[in-house]
Chains A and B, each alone.
Chain A
């Protein structure tokens, strides 16, 4: 019986695990191996150089700057995006006033319309979003400064992406804008599965919106929030931040390294400077940061699971 069960499980898992090993685990191992070589990425010849790349990385100011920005992204972006998405999802699903004849628990007026609108940015590829915002941030004729001029703020004409103090914020705003819709939909689905009688009971006890949110919605949604948090953190460390920084910013990565992130630095080292081995070294550092981030979030977020 026992063996039959194993065979059964193995039969199902072999193919996906094999694929996972080949296309995910194996490249990881390869990159770690390459980080100990002097491979350029442009010729088949290379030799082992030990920890040279790692020593160089620890002395590299640009690496530290990119690490700093990446950590900043990983900490702040999930906080803002998920906080904002929770608020919107709550208002769409639960936050409405009771209307005559309607159900006791409902979203604000027009919530089904908002739900679709919030999801719109998700339909666009991140590259297009970044390009659109690069136009909007154009200080000379872009939408944002034109609006500022239009409402009489002629003296307030920031350089946005051209200003080292604003550029990173401008980039983060784009990521929040483009990802918040996904989390609104994710949390909406989670909220829909929370039984309405819990809310009704809370309402009968005289709970307001804030109390309902913190005492009922958030605890019952905790699992979803946690995985959303990890997912958003990985996006902020990886693909999403690369696309916007690479497409939108000065240089890219500037002005004066104010927006460079680890993924961008990996890309530049591997594909611009022909230093693939050093790029994989930074990639290993990025792997460690990502794993650490996921571990921290999982640990901090560990709570007793509520059953309903």
Chain B
């Protein structure tokens, strides 16, 4: 091989002399061939399309049975997130649509990969007519709204409801659902179908075994935890690897202690919003759980499933979570666990709002793309799903409430669901709905959740340091021009 080196050198010299002009011309021609389409291609690659508005389905005739004017021969395409709630409830609703519009061709599909399936279709301008934009691959709502990719759902909300023609859909929904679908101004972009109750989840049986009631003030909370500790049980655990579960009980507690205005100013990214004394009081309270050793050992290294399992095994008494926990941990929660949820414990009787103030809000966001061919069909499908029968079907199948206000009579509720309904009754009008998690995902999850609350509960930051750090992150987000900003109306 050593000798081939010199040989090839020689041949190379010869070749350079031999090819010369003709090769040069060939090469430059090839270059030109590549570069010409390159330029036109560049503007038409991954983000092509955009036109395509011309082939929208014609509007059908508006009747009492068809208030949205659905074209009864147009195709309707519905893509569902196939997650914790499964797909059966949607398939049932699709069947009703098919019955009502027998000539229409309905394309239904369910996937966990919402974003990878649908992002290219948004980019081509050919999205489906109804999407359940949920799960780990959720497409950023703020961007979709900001880029005018979604249809305003006001026609649906103002249409008569499926069950009662004298009542608008808007008036059959639970509190907060319509507001959650708004971003700025009146248009409603999102219809949240499921209704989630956030709070402190526990086993009533475990609490009974300690001879205790759910604590209403923080001193009582510490006393219950102390009692549990003596029995070898930790007071609290949480999803340590995803500390943005902590706000499920911490934020409504802040709202209870300092009033809803504190939460609103936090959501509005106002200067010094986090410096409010109520925030400090609540952070101090949570930090005390860590200080006194009431948090299950090793919690900062547990993910949500692991922490829920440890809690279901009785290693810890309380866990901040949402109402999906009953379904998600169904396999590890023992028969006689007697699952219950409570609104968060406050500081004491001087709190602004009464005990019972709870965080509840919509889940499972359904959207109708602006560029969909059959937007009326998508909305009609939603109207069917918001009927009492469909809502009951959902609740009995997946153990969760829906946006439809009611729909729990006459069906047997699971313990967690029953306790959720009771908690909502107790809360009455005191339902808070912090918006950071849907307005500013990165700020809420990564910055406040992981880098601040997680660090504080692991004992690596003091409450004062945590507040300072969060405020800095919030100020940064307020100034960041690359994200869209929202305000409470």
Contact = CB atoms under 8 A, between A and B. Distances in A.
B81 to A, nearest CB: 15
B272 interface: no
B45 A30 contact: yes
Interface centre among B15, B143, B303, B446 (most CB of A within 10 A): B446
A86 B301 CA distance: 34
B241 A278 contact: no
Given A44-B123, A254-B450, A30 B315 contact: no
A33 to B, nearest CB: 5
Nearest to B48: A44
A198 to B, nearest CB: 17
Interface residues of A, number: 47
Contacts of A268: 442, 446
B46 A30 contact: yes
A44 B2 contact: no
B271 interface: no
Interface string A34-52: 1000011111111000000
Interface string A117-143: 000000000000000001001111110
Contact of A255 (B49, B441, B442, B458): B458
B384 interface: no
B242 A145 contact: no
A224 to B, nearest CB: 16
A250 B455 CA distance: 11
A42 B122 contact: yes
Contacts of B149: 42-43
A155 B302 CA distance: 19
Interface string A269-283: 001111100100000
B489 interface: no
Contacts of B298: 138-140, 145, 157, 159, 162
Given A44-B49, A250-B450, A255-B451, A29 B38 contact: yes
Contacts, number: 149
Contacts of A272: 140, 441-442
Interface in A37-92: 39-46, 56
Contacts of B16: none
A145 B301 CA distance: 12
Given A41-B119, A44-B48, A255-B455, A275 B297 contact: no
B147 A43 contact: yes
Contact of B241 (A250, A274, A275, A307): A250
Contacts of B147: 40, 42-43, 45
Contacts of A256: 450-451, 454-455, 460
Contact of A253 (B15, B144, B296, B450): B450
Interface string A134-170: 1001111110010000000000010111111000000
Contacts of B144: 42-43, 274
Contacts of B48: 44
A307 B4 CA distance: 12
A40 B144 CA distance: 9
A273 B446 CA distance: 12
B75 interface: no
A274 B19 CA distance: 51
Interface residues of B, number: 58
A56 B481 CA distance: 10
Nearest to B303: A134
A48 to B, nearest CB: 11
Interface string A250-274: 1101111100000000001001111
A93 interface: no
Nearest to A139: B298
A7 to B, nearest CB: 12
Given A40-B143, A162-B240, A255 B296 contact: no
Given A159-B458, A251-B241, A256-B450, A307 B302 contact: no
Interface string A194-236: 0000000000000000000000000000000000000000000
Interface in B125-158: 125, 137, 139-140, 142-144, 146-149
A249 interface: yes
A154 B89 CA distance: 49
B306 A140 contact: yes
B42 interface: yes
Interface in B281-320: 296-303, 306, 310, 315
Contacts of A254: 446, 450-451, 454
Nearest to A305: B1
Interface centre among B125, B137, B458 (most CB of A within 10 A): B458
B329 interface: no
B124 interface: yes
B485 interface: no
Contacts of A142: 301
Interface string A86-124: 000000000000000000000000000000000000000
B458 A43 contact: no
A253 B241 CA distance: 10
B301 A162 contact: yes
Nearest to A159: B301
Closest 3 CB pairs of A and B: A139-B298, A162-B301, A274-B143
18 contacts: A40-B146, A42-B140, A44-B47, A44-B124, A46-B47, A56-B482, A134-B303, A139-B302, A140-B297, A140-B299, A159-B458, A164-B460, A250-B450, A251-B449, A255-B451, A256-B454, A273-B441, A275-B482
Interface of A: 2, 21, 29-30, 33-34, 39-46, 56, 134, 137-142, 145, 157, 159-164, 249-251, 253-257, 268, 271-275, 278, 305, 307
Interface of B: 1-2, 15, 18-19, 34, 38, 42, 45-50, 115, 119, 122-125, 137, 139-140, 142-144, 146-149, 240-243, 296-303, 306, 310, 315, 441-442, 445-446, 449-451, 454-455, 458, 460, 482-483
